[in-house]
Structure 1
Amino acid sequence: MGTSFTVIENIQQSTPQEGLTSRAATASEPTKDSPALILGAVLIIVVLNFAAFHGSLSGYFLADDFAHVDYLKSVFNGNAHLLAKNFYSNWMQTLGTSFYRPFISITLATDYLFWGANPNGFHISNFFYQTLSSVFLFLSLNCMFPELDRRARFFTAFLAAALFACHPLHPEVVSWIIARVDSVCTTFLFLSLWLYLLARQTDGKRANALQMSSLAAFTLSLMSKEMAITLPPTIFLYELVNSSFCRSEKTGGWRARFVEALKATRWYIALLLFYLGFRAAVLGTLFGGYGGSVGEGLQATLWRRWFMEGCLARLILPFNEAVTEPKDKLRLVFKLMTAGAVAIAILRACLSARKNNLKSLPFAISPFLLFGLGWFIIALAPTIQVFDITTTLQGGRFVYLATAPVVLVLAALVFGAGDEKKSHGQVSLLPLLSMALAALFTASYTVLAMHNNRPWCEASRGVSNLRAGVENALEGQPAQMKVAILNLPPHHKGAHMLYNAAMFGVTLKPPLSKTDLTNRVITFEPVTFGDANLIGRTRLRSILADKNLAGAFVWDSNEQRLLPMKDWRSIGLSAPSQTFELAKGDCLLENEGQSVQSPIIDVPSIDFDFLDLTLKVEPTVAGKQIAPDAYLILGWSGATHPIYAPQQEIAQPLKPGVNTYRFSVGELKNWVGEGKITALRINTSVKPCKINVESVRFINADDQIPELSIAPEFKYFIDSNGTLYTSEDLGPVRYDATKIKGAKSVHYEISKPESWFEHYSGTLRDKAPSEKVSDSGKFEQLSSSQAVIPLKALKVPGFYEVRIIALDAQDKPLGYVSNPINFQVSGSYFKKRKTETDARADKK
C-alpha cells in the first residue's frame, strides 16, 4: 500500500514492522548517533540555559512564592501532615481554585529542607528543571521517526531543544519560583515521552522496565500540573504520523493505523482516566481552574484573549513591550528569521518536487512539521480558560509546553526531511543556509531571553528593597507605631511582585525577617487578585488621622524604592474640601508633543472623589471627524511625584462636541498617594484637534456615597489590610446614608464567594446594585452604629465583599455604592449553623 507522505531519496531502509505493536526501530536508527555527539548537544543546551537565565539564580521570592514559604514554615514546624493532605485534597487547601499538584509541594519542601528560606536554593532548582526539560525534549525528539534521515532528525531535535532552552517566553517559569509547576510538569512529561520511545525501540524485559518507568514519570507529571493530560494524545499523534511516514507495506490504512496508535497509547489513556476519576473524587471536578469573579472574568474575555490581542502572535514574536522598543532592530531580525525558515522550506520543497517527480504530494515534508502542528493544538487545548500572553509577556507560563511544538515547527522548516543532495552527488547550499539560520535563531533567542529576564531580576531586587524600606521606616519607633503603604507593587514590566497584603506580610516575619512586623504595617491591597490601584478613601482618611501612624509611603516603580507621602498628617486631620474649580481655556493640539497643562494648583489628593472635565473637542479640518477609537488622557503631577509620568494617567473615550468627562480619581492610589495635586495635563490620542476647556471641577461626593465601616466593638480578627475574619453573622458594623438627599432606606449586598464587585465593573463607584450577589437585604434606618448583616444565605466558606447603597422611596438607588468591606467566613460558621439546624430539627 502507498504511503501518505513522500519518502525522500536518501532515507535509510528499515526493517519491516509488524504494525505499530512491533518495535519501531529494529533498524535502530537513533542509536547511530555517537554518545559523544549526544553529550555535546546536551552540554550546549545546558550552556544556553545558563546564558539566558543565569541572572535568576540570585533572585528573591515573588508574588505567590510567599504563600508557599509560609506554608513550608508551617510544614516544618509540626504540621508535616499538610504535605500528605495535598494528595487527597485541593492543593494547599486553597479556596477559589481547583488544583491537584501535590508533587510540586514535595519539590518545594525538598528545597526548604536543604536551603531553608534562602531563595537562591529554590532558584537553582527552577533552573535545574528548565534545563532538564530542554534536555529531555532533545532526547525525545532525537528518538522519533526512525526512518527519517539521521542528520535531519538530529539537527531538527537539537535546534528545537536549543530554542526551547533559551526561549524568550520562559523567564516567568524560570525566574518565578512557583511557576516551576510548568517546568516540573514538562520535565517529567518529556522524560515519560523519551522513555516511551526507547521502550518502543527495545524488546524484552528492558522494554517493560522502560515502559513502567515512563508511566511513573507520567504519574509525577500529572501530580505537578494539569497540562500533563496532553501526553496520551501527543503519543497517539506521534504514532499516527510515524506510521504514515513509514515505508513499510504492512502499516495498513488509516483505520488500521488509528487502531494501532490507540493500542500503543492504551496504558497512558488508562492512567489518565484513573487520574481524572481520582481528581473528580477528591476535588469534585475533572479539570482545574479559577472560580469566583476571577474565573468569570476569564470566561468573559475568552475570545478577546485568544484572537483579538495578538497573544498567539507572541509565540513567534515574544517581545516585552516594556523592554524592547517598537523600532528595535531585534524585532526585524525575528521577522526575517521566521520568513527565512519558511523560504528555505519552500525552496527545499520545490527542489525536491522537481527532482523526485512526486505524485502523492507536490513536495517532500518532514514528519516533524506535521507532528509539531498537531502537537501545538494539543498543548494549547488545556489552557483555553487562562490563555493570555500580555504585552509584557505575563502569562508566558501558560504556553510553556506549547513553545516546544512551536520551536519544533521552526526547526522542521529550517532542516526539512534531509533531502540535501543533488542527483549528481554534489552538496547543495541548503545545509549551509540551514545551519546559518539555525545559529541566528539560537543567538537571537538567547539575547532576547536575557532582555526579557531582566525585569524579573529587577522585580526581585524591588521586593527586597521594599522589605528593607519598611524595616528602616520602623527602626527606632515605639512598638505601637505603624506605617501605611498605599501601593504595594503588583508587577514590574511584566514581572510579578506582590499582589496582596498577605504576600507582603510573609516578608515581614521570620524566616524572611528577623522580627515580626506584620502588625505594624497597614496596606490597601486586594484580598487575592484585582486592580491594585483601587483604594477606599474613607479607610485611608481614618488611618492617616491615627496618632500611632509613623508615616505613609508610596512605592515608586521607576526608582524601585519607598517614597514618603507628602503632608499626610495635615491631610488626614483636616476636613475635606467640597468643590474646587479651575479657569477656562482653549488650545490647539497640533502634534504628539503638545498637551493642555493647568496652572500650578494646590489640591489635597484625598479630599475629592471625582474630577469633572467639560470640554469641547473639534477637528481642525472642516468635515473631518474625530476617530471613533480616540481617547482623552488625564495626567497629573503632585507633591510626591512632581514630574509627569505615564503611571500618573487615566483615560476615557474621546467624543466630539461638548461633553463632561467624570474621572473617578479619589479611588486611585496613584492619585491619592501624591498628597497634594500640583498640576493637571490634558492630552488626546489623536492629533491635530482643538480643545476648549469649559470647566474643571473637583467633586467631593460625601453627599452621594454612603459610609460603611467596621465598628470598634467587632471582636474577631481584622488584618492589616482591613479584611475581617468571622465565624458568626457580620457585625457590628457602622453605616450612614443620612447625607444622601432623598434617601429613605439602605440596601446591602454580599458578593458571591471568592468574588469582588470591582472585578466586574473595574471601579468602586458603581451607581446600582450588582446582579452578582450571594445575598442582599434592606435596612430601614438610614444610619446605625450596631448593625448586623446576616450570613445565613451563604453556602460555602471563603472570601466575600459587602457594600451598601442608598434607596429612595421607590427603592431606586441614589448616588454611588459605599466603599466595600472584605471579609472571610470560616468553616466553623457553617458547622455551627448545621449543629443549630440539627438541634432544632431534633426538638421538632
Structure 2
Amino acid sequence: MAETLSIRLGKRDALASLILSVLAFVSFGPSLFAGFISDDGQQYTYIYNYLHSQPLMLLQNFTSCWMQEPLWGLHYRPMMLLPLVFDVLVWNQNTVGWHITCLSIHSACTVLTFLLARKLLQKLAYFDGISIPFLAGALFAAHPLHAESVAWICGRVDSFCTFFYLTSFLSFLYSLDASGRPARLSRIVSLCSCAAALLSKEVGVTIPVVLAWYAFCSSLSAIPWTKAFLSALKATRVYWLLLAVYILVRSLALGTFVGGYHGFGSVALDAIWLTGLLHWRLLQGVFVPISLPQLTELDSAFRTLIALYVAIALASVARFAVVRDWIVWRPILFLSGWLLLAFALVARVWYAAGGLPGGRHFYLVSVPFSIIAALLVIPTSTKSSAEKQLQKFSIGIVAVFSILLAALSFKSSELWIEANRYEAATEKGIAALSATNKDARRMVFLNPAATFEHLPLYPTFVNLQGCLMPPLFPPDVHKKIATLRAHIFNLDLLNKSALVANMEQPNTIVFGFDGDTREIRTLPSDCFVSDPSSPSHISVDGKLQPLTKAPNVTVYAMSPSRSMKKGLIDCVEITASCVKSDDMSGIDPSMLLSWAKDFGDRKSGVLNAYKTPDGARAVWRIDDTDALAGSLACFMEADGKAHKYRFHLSEISSWILFGSLSDLQLTVSPPSTEITSVKFLNLENEIPKLSASPDRWTRQQNGTVAPKSNDALVLNFDATKIAGASHVMAEISKPFEYYEYFNASYRQDALSPNSLKKYSLEGLKGEMELWRDDFKVPGEYDVRVAAFNKDGKLIGYVSDPVTISIK
C-alpha cells in the first residue's frame, strides 16, 4: 500500500511540475521577443569575441571581477559564464533562443520552489497534501516582479543563482532523510550547488545561515534551544567552511572584502538598509506590481487586485478562526526568518534601483514569500466539512490571484519588447551616423537616452559601447563613440566644460537621441563660439508676453530683448515675488520654464530636488520615456519679498540639443506673482575654470581623462574672473562617487561634505598638482575647484568637474 501511494504521489508531483512549468512559460511568453537590452549586447560581444580569439581568457573571471570591468561595480560571478557560453555557441545572435534559456531557468526554479514547499511542509508541519505547495509554486511562477529576471538576459543572474540555491537546500533536506550512499550523494550535490550559487551571485552567502536556521527550527521542540543551536551549527559545518573559502577567494580576486556596486556605502543608503524593508516603493512592487506607465491601461486589473486582497484577508482571518492547525507555526517561523534575511540583504540595492526595474532583487526573496502566503491563506487541516469548504474557497481565491498575476506578468513582459525596440533605434541611429560621417574620429553622445518607461537601458557608457561592437555592428562604431559622463543614468546633465573641450578636437561630432521621435540630432560645431562683437560676459534683459491666463496659472512667452546665441546662455534669472492666496490651498507657488513645443504631450517626472542659495527648492524635470528634460521648475517663496530664481539651462543636454529660444515659455502659479526682472546670463564670471591639458592628459571615450605619464598629475585652474576672489580651494571625490549625483546638478554653491580630500591652491590661476598618494585605490575621481573671498565664503559656483581615471 505504501509503495502504491508513493508511485501515485510521484505522478501527482510530475503533473504539478509540468503545469507549473507551462504557467511560468506562458506568464512571461512575450519576453521571447525582447531581444538584447542594456548589458545583454555587451555581454554577448564579450563572450563571442573571446570564444573566437582567446577562449581561455574567459577564465579570468575566476581571478578578477566580472568581465574585468570594475567601473560599474566589483562583482565575483564566474558561474555566469555557463549560460552565456551556452547561448553564444548554440543560439549565437538568435535572441529568441537566449530567452528560451531564461524561461527554462525560471521554470526550473518554479518546480524547485514547489518541491521545496512540499518537502518543508512534510517535515515541519507533517502535511502531505499538494495544494499548498502547488499554489506556492504558482505564485512564484507568475509574480510580475520576475519580469526583469526573465525578460532581461543579464537579469537571469538572480534566477541562475536561485536555481543552485534551491537545489542545494532541497538536496540538504533529502540527505537528512537518507542514510548511507544516498545521503552522501545528496550532501555532495548540495555542497556543489552551494558553491555554484556562491559563484553566481553574492546572495548565495545566506545558504549556510538558512540551512542552520532550518536545522534549528526543526529540532526546537525536541531539545532545548541551546542544544538546538549547537546541533544546527554541527549539521551545517561544512557549508560554513565552504563559505569561508569563498570569501577568501573572492577577496583575493577583487582585491577587497566588500565589493559590490560603487557608491552604495553612503549613510543615506545604510539607513535605507534598515528602514527600506517597509518602504512604500518596495511594498508597492511586491503587492501591487503594476508599472506606472501601465497603470491607466490596467486600471481594471488594479481594482480586481485590490478586491482579491480583501478576499484573501478575509480568508486568512477565517482560516485561523475556524481551523486550529497550529502545527504550521514551525514552517512559518522558519520561512519568516528566511524571508527577512533575504529581503534585508537586497533591500538597499533594490531601493536604489527603483521599484519595478529592480524587481530581479526580489527573485530569491519570493520563494519563502510565496510559501508563507499560501500557508497563511489555505488551511492544512480538513477534518470537518466547514474546514473542507474553507480550504476550497481559499484555494479558489489563490488560484484566481495567480492567474491575475500571470496576466500582469504577460503585460509587463511587453514593456521589455518595446524597450528593445527603443534601444535598437538608438544603436542603429548611431551606426547610421557613423556610416555617413566616415571622416569623424570622435562621436560624442550628449544625452543618455538611459531609460525607457522606468526600465534601465544603459547604466554606464561601457554598456552602450559594448553593444556597438562587432559582430553586432561594424568595428569602427565603438571606436568612435564617446560621451561626457561615464555613468549615463537618467540624469539629463551636461558638463559644459567637458563638451567644449571635446568640440575643440578635430573631426568631432556631437549628437543626441530624441526618444520621442527616435531620431539622432547633431549639434552645430560653432554652438559655443563667442561673437567677437559681443562682450565676453553676456547679461541680456528678457521680455515676457502673456499667452494664457487661468485661475491658477499664467503662461508667458519669453525671449531675450536682443539677438544672442543660445550656446552662450548659461541660465535664465527671474526676480519675482508672490503671496499664497486662500484659493491656492494645497498648491505650492512655482515657476516652470519649458522649451519643448510639445511639452504638454511629454510625460515629465520629478528627478531630484535641492535647496537653492535663496532658499527656494529647485526641481529638475525629466521625460520618463527617454530621460530628456522638457522643462525646469522651482518652488517660490510665498513671503511677498522679491527673490531671484535661476534656471541653469547650459547644464541640460536636452536644451543644448533640442531647445530653441523662440520656444521658451514660463508658467507661473499663482497668476498674481509679480515678475520684476528677467535676465539671460553667461556665468563665466561666477564659475572658475578647471581643465586638463591635452599635452599631459588623454581624453578617453567614457568622458574621463587619463594621465599620459606617471610623473606628474597636473590640472590647470583659473578663477581670475571671479570678482572678490582671494583664494581657491580644490577637492577630490571618493572613487566612483560623482558630485552631480549628490545634487543632480553641476551648479553647486558649496563644496561636498563627502569629498576624499580638500586643500588650498596658491593664487587665482595656475597649475594644480595632484599627488599619487591621494589615489590609493584605482578608480575614477572627480576633481573641481571653487573661489572664496577673504571671509572664507564661496563665491559663485563650484567649477565643472574633471573626472580623472587612475589605473
For Structure 1 versus Structure 2, the TM-score category normalised by the shorter chain is: 0.7 to 0.9
State the secondary structure of the residue aligned to 1:513.
Answer: coil
Identify which range, 181-190 or 654-663, moves more after superposition: 654-663
Which residue does the alignment assign to 2:366?
Answer: 403
Say which of 296, 303, 312 aligns to 1:325. 296
The superposition leaves residues 731-778 of structure 1 with CA deviations (integer Å, 9 ceiling, x where unpaired) of: 664443232213344433322222222233332122233343444555
> Structure 1's 729 and 182: CA in aligned 2 closer, same or farther, altered over 3 A?
farther
Say which of 551, 554, 557 aligns to 1:598. 557
Q: For residue 29 of structure 1, report the CA deviation from its aligned partner.
A: 12
> Structure 1's 271 and 241: CA in aligned 2 closer, same or farther, altered over 3 A?
same
Task: Give the structure with the larger helix fraction.
Answer: 2
State the secondary structure of the residue aligned to 1:171.
Answer: helix
**Structure number with larger C-alpha Rg:** 1
Which residue does the alignment assign to 1:637?
Answer: 595
For residues 366 and 33 of structure 1, the distance between their equivalents in structure 2, rounded to whole angstroms, comes to 29
CA contact (8 A) 1:172 1:495 kept: no
Once superposed, what is the RMSD of the aligned Cα atoms?
Answer: 3.6
Say which of 527, 536, 550 aligns to 1:571. 527
For residues 41 and 338 of structure 2, the distance between their equivalents in structure 1, rounded to whole angstroms, comes to 34
Whichever residue aligns with residue 468 of structure 1, its letter is K
Q: For residue 619 of structure 1, report the CA deviation from its aligned partner.
A: 3.2
CA contact (8 A) 1:57 1:123 kept: yes
Q: For residue 815 of structure 1, report the CA deviation from its aligned partner.
A: 1.6
Say which of 550, 554, 574 aligns to 2:512. 554
State the secondary structure of the residue aligned to 1:270.
Answer: helix
Q: Tell whether 2:543 aligns with 1:582.
A: yes
> Structure 1's 705 and 198: CA in aligned 2 closer, same or farther, altered over 3 A?
same
Say which of 737, 740, 755 aligns to 2:737. 755
Q: For residue 701 of structure 1, report the CA deviation from its aligned partner.
A: 0.7
The superposition leaves residues 642-694 of structure 1 with CA deviations (integer Å, 9 ceiling, x where unpaired) of: 9655221334344322433323332122322224143445558xx98853434
Whichever residue aligns with residue 578 of structure 1, its letter is S
* Aligned pairs (5 A) from 1:25-174: 31=6, 34-73=9-48, 75-76=50-51, 78-95=53-70, 97-116=73-92, 119-146=95-122, 153-174=129-150
Which residue does the alignment assign to 1:801?
Answer: 782
For residues 450 and 88 of structure 1, the distance between their equivalents in structure 2, rounded to whole angstroms, comes to 39
State the secondary structure of the residue aligned to 1:516.
Answer: helix
Q: How many residues were matched structurally?
A: 773
Q: Tell whether 2:340 aligns with 1:340.
A: no
Whichever residue aligns with residue 395 of structure 1, its letter is G
Identify which range, 41-50 or 800-809, moves more after superposition: 800-809
* Aligned pairs (5 A) from 1:264-303: 264-283=235-254, 286-292=257-263, 298-299=269-270, 302=273
* Aligned pairs (5 A) from 1:511-526: 511-524=471-484, 526=485
For residues 411 and 298 of structure 2, the distance between their equivalents in structure 1, rounded to whole angstroms, comes to 15
For residues 450 and 563 of structure 1, the distance between their equivalents in structure 2, rounded to whole angstroms, comes to 32
Say which of 183, 189, 197 aligns to 1:213. 189
Q: For residue 278 of structure 1, report the CA deviation from its aligned partner.
A: 4.0
For residues 392 and 689 of structure 1, the distance between their equivalents in structure 2, rounded to whole angstroms, comes to 37
State the secondary structure of the residue aligned to 2:281.
Answer: coil
Which residue does the alignment assign to 1:450?
Answer: 410
Q: Tell whether 2:468 aligns with 1:493.
A: no
- Superposition TM-score, scaled by structure 2 size: 0.86
For residues 707 and 262 of structure 2, the distance between their equivalents in structure 1, rounded to whole angstroms, comes to 21
For residues 675 and 151 of structure 2, the distance between their equivalents in structure 1, rounded to whole angstroms, comes to 48
> Structure 1's 587 and 661: CA in aligned 2 closer, same or farther, altered over 3 A?
farther
Q: For residue 390 of structure 1, report the CA deviation from its aligned partner.
A: 6.2
For residues 326 and 434 of structure 1, the distance between their equivalents in structure 2, rounded to whole angstroms, comes to 29
Identify which range, 530-539 or 290-299, moves more after superposition: 290-299
Which residue does the alignment assign to 1:480?
Answer: 440
CA contact (8 A) 1:527 1:723 kept: no
CA contact (8 A) 2:117 2:133 kept: yes
State the secondary structure of the residue aligned to 2:260.
Answer: coil
Q: For residue 154 of structure 1, report the CA deviation from its aligned partner.
A: 1.6
* Aligned pairs (5 A) from 1:190-201: 190-201=166-177
Q: For residue 613 of structure 1, report the CA deviation from its aligned partner.
A: 3.1
> Structure 1's 730 and 409: CA in aligned 2 closer, same or farther, altered over 3 A?
farther
CA contact (8 A) 1:612 1:662 kept: yes
State the secondary structure of the residue aligned to 2:749.
Answer: coil
Identify which range, 133-142 or 96-105, moves more after superposition: 96-105
Which residue does the alignment assign to 2:610?
Answer: none
Q: For residue 437 of structure 1, report the CA deviation from its aligned partner.
A: 0.9
The superposition leaves residues 467-488 of structure 1 with CA deviations (integer Å, 9 ceiling, x where unpaired) of: 1111222334342365443212
CA contact (8 A) 1:537 1:667 kept: yes
Identify which range, 397-406 or 117-126, moves more after superposition: 117-126
For residues 297 and 145 of structure 1, the distance between their equivalents in structure 2, rounded to whole angstroms, comes to 40
The superposition leaves residues 542-572 of structure 1 with CA deviations (integer Å, 9 ceiling, x where unpaired) of: 656777355x44323334x12425x735534
* Aligned pairs (5 A) from 1:432-831: 432-480=392-440, 483-524=443-484, 526-528=485-487, 532-541=491-500, 543=502, 548-549=507-508, 552-559=510-517, 561-565=518-522, 568-569=524-525, 571-575=527-531, 577-583=538-544, 590=551, 596-598=555-557, 605-621=566-582, 630=588, 632=590, 634-638=592-596, 645-646=603-604, 647=623, 648-657=630-639, 658=641, 659-682=643-666, 690-714=672-696, 716=698, 718-719=700-701, 721=703, 723-724=705-706, 726-728=708-710, 733-784=715-766, 789-809=770-790, 812-826=793-807
> Structure 1's 735 and 276: CA in aligned 2 closer, same or farther, altered over 3 A?
closer
State the secondary structure of the residue aligned to 2:401.
Answer: helix
Which residue does the alignment assign to 1:310?
Answer: 281
State the secondary structure of the residue aligned to 1:661.
Answer: strand
Q: For residue 61 of structure 1, report the CA deviation from its aligned partner.
A: 3.1
Identify which range, 747-756 or 727-736, moves more after superposition: 727-736
CA contact (8 A) 2:263 2:736 kept: yes
CA contact (8 A) 1:95 1:754 kept: no
For residues 345 and 388 of structure 2, the distance between their equivalents in structure 1, rounded to whole angstroms, comes to 42
> Structure 1's 410 and 338: CA in aligned 2 closer, same or farther, altered over 3 A?
farther
For residues 74 and 463 of structure 2, the distance between their equivalents in structure 1, rounded to whole angstroms, comes to 20
* Aligned pairs (5 A) from 1:370-409: 370-388=333-351, 392-409=355-372
CA contact (8 A) 1:392 1:494 kept: no
CA contact (8 A) 1:485 1:554 kept: yes
Identity, in percent, stands at 26
Gaps of 5+ in 1: 1-11, 13-26, 246-250, 354-360, 827-844
Whichever residue aligns with residue 513 of structure 2, its letter is W
> Structure 1's 421 and 726: CA in aligned 2 closer, same or farther, altered over 3 A?
farther
Whichever residue aligns with residue 136 of structure 1, its letter is L
Q: For residue 349 of structure 1, report the CA deviation from its aligned partner.
A: 2.0
Which residue does the alignment assign to 1:23?
Answer: none
Identify which range, 483-492 or 261-270, moves more after superposition: 261-270
For residues 42 and 547 of structure 1, the distance between their equivalents in structure 2, rounded to whole angstroms, comes to 63
Q: For residue 615 of structure 1, report the CA deviation from its aligned partner.
A: 3.3
For residues 135 and 19 of structure 2, the distance between their equivalents in structure 1, rounded to whole angstroms, comes to 11
- Superposition TM-score, scaled by structure 1 size: 0.82
For residues 573 and 792 of structure 2, the distance between their equivalents in structure 1, rounded to whole angstroms, comes to 28
Whichever residue aligns with residue 322 of structure 1, its letter is P
Identify which range, 308-317 or 282-291, moves more after superposition: 282-291
> Structure 1's 254 and 733: CA in aligned 2 closer, same or farther, altered over 3 A?
closer
> Structure 1's 651 and 295: CA in aligned 2 closer, same or farther, altered over 3 A?
same
Q: For residue 534 of structure 1, report the CA deviation from its aligned partner.
A: 1.3
> Structure 1's 454 and 726: CA in aligned 2 closer, same or farther, altered over 3 A?
farther
State the secondary structure of the residue aligned to 1:527.
Answer: coil
> Structure 1's 518 and 93: CA in aligned 2 closer, same or farther, altered over 3 A?
closer
